[in-house]
Chain A
Amino acid sequence: MFKTEEMEINLGPQHPSTHGVLRVKLHLDGETIVRCTPMIGYLHRGVEKICENKTFFQGQVWTDRTDYVASVSNNLGWAEGVEKLFGITVPRRAHYIRTMLTELNRITSHLLWLGTHALDIGAMTVFLYAFREREEILSMFEAFCGARLTTTAFRIGGLREDIPPGFEKQVRAFQARFLDCLDEYEILLTENRIWKKRTVGVALLNAEDAIALGVTGPVLRAAGSTYDIRKAFPYAAYAEMDFQVATKNEGDTYARYLVRLEEMRQAHRIINQCLDGLPEGPVMAKLPKVLKSEVNEIYHAIEAPKGELGYYFIGEKGGVNPYRMHIRAPSFINLQALSKMVEGRLLADVIAAIGTLDVVLGEVDR
């Protein structure tokens, strides 16, 4: 008597919780997801192509604008990738400062994820508490390199300038209270029955699927893997740092939440070690006047807050620009897991899944 059909609904590109311009095409049976297709490209700027026409020095400003909530990590990946291409050795002090800033950046990225993820699930207040701390770190970035978001923090061969006076005090003051702030978020969320109901067992992704899909970062580690590039292929000063890789075995949204909180605690530890063991010395290596590449190709990956961020460079003879540059963007590859996570689940789980994948559309679309 009645005709039933699937409802097709567009979640985004203008939607309060798709974190930018992600469009997810959903086929719904009632509220159950039958099919889920992420549609991307609304923020495509052709960063890779632009970078082919810019020198190695200039290209860094575009990495600020891929994953714009973790621009320091992107800067690090670019700078280290180019250094690898040219065989430049960076002074140890520069490595330490780079590590410290990158870990601070990991905290800002995770705080932004925590705030927006909680906001998506309905807890409004965590967002503002998380941003309170994020603001402090952003003002540290402002003190270090003059910008809060598009940092352009590093230079090929080291740093542009040493840390400014008063910076260490600023960081230590933040370090002193950050663990208490983390406890505050935990009071609001970790044991909360509604938070647990919304996250435990939601958006499941086991390690096998995660590896098959190429998923990296906290999403992979929450599924039981211990793959962390900081440990597996240490870069910057990570080989000298003492920290643990946070893992969980459940592979659900709640496990990812706990893994990211633990990563913030580990980042806190690493920053303290960087501050305590900061070596003296120069922050910039000796560089030739113009960087001219040989026929050469390298891949350099770092552990960005969202996963494995890789830069692939191909040089040509005497070229001042990369012949080809490719970014292995963690958000882009992690987003593949969305369909796997939500099919057969409810509409509200899509929101939780997008939140827990921590995608930044600037990086997905590049």
Chain B
Amino acid sequence: MASSLLRTLIPFDIYGGMKLTGKYFGKVLRQANRGVKRTHVVVEYPEVPTTLMPRFRGRLQMIKDEQGEIKCVCCMACEKICPTQVITIEKGKKEGRKTPYPTRYDFEMERCIFCEFCVESCGFDSIILNHQFELASYNREDFSHALEGEFQNMFGITPVSHYSVASED
């Protein structure tokens, strides 16, 4: 009875919470942005680059082999498996190449959901999802990627994110 009355009158419960938050306040105040040991969890993003895991699923990118040839042989597996139908391939032929050659490989990034099904289905390792995540842009056209064109590069790293803060010069 007496102890419960005392507990009602004196807010020990709130005191415990205040102690915890006060502890964190003191810690962060002392260690705010001093490098090695830190309590806070902030990543100061544009200044400090973000680290990504090796399996991170970024933008779709085509890769070339050692001779600079496109590895894609137009098996259409990625086009078929894509849940949102963002890949369009046209089969063609090229001089001096036995396997089919894509005359057109369009990638509509606006609808892409970065599921990596296309990479998984590819039997020739000709496409990857790279580690690029700053994909915002001011122009709608920048989201359409193709084999050719100024900003429509399926091979390069940053056709779009030259608008992002971190890549500004």
List A residues at the B interface (Cβ < 8 Å). Answer: 54, 57-59, 61-62, 125, 132, 135, 139, 142-147, 150, 152, 160-161, 164, 184, 187-188, 191-194
Given contacts A54-B83, A146-B56, contact A187 B20 (CB under 8 A): yes
CB-based contact B17/A188 at 8 Å: yes
A-B contact pairs, 20 of them (CB 8 A): A58-B81, A58-B117, A61-B113, A61-B117, A125-B21, A142-B56, A143-B55, A145-B55, A145-B57, A146-B55, A147-B56, A147-B57, A150-B113, A152-B115, A152-B117, A160-B120, A184-B20, A187-B16, A191-B16, A192-B14
B169 beta carbon closer than 8 Å to chain A = no
**Which of A58, A160, A161: most chain B CB closer than 10 A?**
A58
Given contacts A135-B41, A187-B16, A193-B14, contact A144 B115 (CB under 8 A): no
Interface residue ranges of B37-82 to A (CB < 8 Å): 41, 52-57, 81
- In chain B, what residue has the closest Cβ to A161? B55
CB-based contact A57/B81 at 8 Å: yes
Residues from chain B with a CB closer than 8 A to the CB of A193 are 11, 13-14
B129 beta carbon closer than 8 Å to chain A = yes
Residues from chain A with a CB closer than 8 A to the CB of B115 are 61, 150, 152
In the bound complex, CA of A139 to CA of B51 (Å): 10
B116 beta carbon closer than 8 Å to chain A = yes
B114 beta carbon closer than 8 Å to chain A = yes
- In chain A, what residue has the closest Cβ to B51? A139
In the bound complex, CA of A48 to CA of B21 (Å): 45
Residues from chain B with a CB closer than 8 A to the CB of A152 are 115-117
- In chain B, what residue has the closest Cβ to A141? B53
Shortest Cβ distance from residue B14 to the other chain A in the assembled complex, whole angstroms: 6
Q: A143-B53, A187-B20 are in contact. List 11 more A-B contacts (CB 8 A).
A: A58-B81, A61-B117, A132-B41, A139-B53, A142-B52, A142-B56, A145-B55, A147-B114, A152-B117, A164-B53, A194-B14
Size bin of chain B's contact surface: 20 to 34
Shortest Cβ distance from residue A9 to the other chain B in the assembled complex, whole angstroms: 32
In the bound complex, CA of A132 to CA of B38 (Å): 13
In the bound complex, CA of A61 to CA of B113 (Å): 8
Shortest Cβ distance from residue A56 to the other chain B in the assembled complex, whole angstroms: 12
Interface residue ranges of B72-119 to A (CB < 8 Å): 81, 83, 113-117
Residues from chain B with a CB closer than 8 A to the CB of A125 are 21
CB-based contact B55/A144 at 8 Å: yes
In the bound complex, CA of A332 to CA of B14 (Å): 36
Nearest 9 CB-CB pairings of A with B: A146-B57, A146-B55, A58-B83, A191-B13, A143-B53, A142-B53, A188-B17, A61-B115, A152-B115
Residues from chain A with a CB closer than 8 A to the CB of B55 are 142-146, 161, 164
Shortest Cβ distance from residue B145 to the other chain A in the assembled complex, whole angstroms: 20
Shortest Cβ distance from residue B131 to the other chain A in the assembled complex, whole angstroms: 10
- In chain B, what residue has the closest Cβ to A65? B113
In the bound complex, CA of A58 to CA of B118 (Å): 11
Residues from chain A with a CB closer than 8 A to the CB of B52 are 142
Residues from chain B with a CB closer than 8 A to the CB of A184 are 20
- In chain B, what residue has the closest Cβ to A133? B41
Shortest Cβ distance from residue B11 to the other chain A in the assembled complex, whole angstroms: 6
CB-based contact B57/A192 at 8 Å: no
- In chain B, what residue has the closest Cβ to A124? B21
In the bound complex, CA of A147 to CA of B56 (Å): 6
In the bound complex, CA of A140 to CA of B54 (Å): 12
Shortest Cβ distance from residue A36 to the other chain B in the assembled complex, whole angstroms: 31
Shortest Cβ distance from residue A60 to the other chain B in the assembled complex, whole angstroms: 8
In the bound complex, CA of A59 to CA of B84 (Å): 10
In the bound complex, CA of A160 to CA of B11 (Å): 53
- In chain A, what residue has the closest Cβ to B17? A188
Shortest Cβ distance from residue B119 to the other chain A in the assembled complex, whole angstroms: 10
Residues from chain A with a CB closer than 8 A to the CB of B11 are 193
Shortest Cβ distance from residue A322 to the other chain B in the assembled complex, whole angstroms: 14
Residues from chain A with a CB closer than 8 A to the CB of B120 are 160
Residues from chain B with a CB closer than 8 A to the CB of A62 are 83
Residues from chain B with a CB closer than 8 A to the CB of A146 are 53, 55-57, 116, 129
CB-based contact B17/A57 at 8 Å: no
CB-based contact A192/B114 at 8 Å: no
Residues from chain A with a CB closer than 8 A to the CB of B41 are 132, 135
CB-based contact B117/A188 at 8 Å: no
**Which of B13, B14, B20: most chain A CB closer than 10 A?**
B13
In the bound complex, CA of A154 to CA of B61 (Å): 23
Residues from chain B with a CB closer than 8 A to the CB of A144 are 55
CB-based contact B81/A188 at 8 Å: no
Shortest Cβ distance from residue A135 to the other chain B in the assembled complex, whole angstroms: 7
Shortest Cβ distance from residue B56 to the other chain A in the assembled complex, whole angstroms: 5
- In chain B, what residue has the closest Cβ to A170? B53
In the bound complex, CA of A163 to CA of B41 (Å): 26
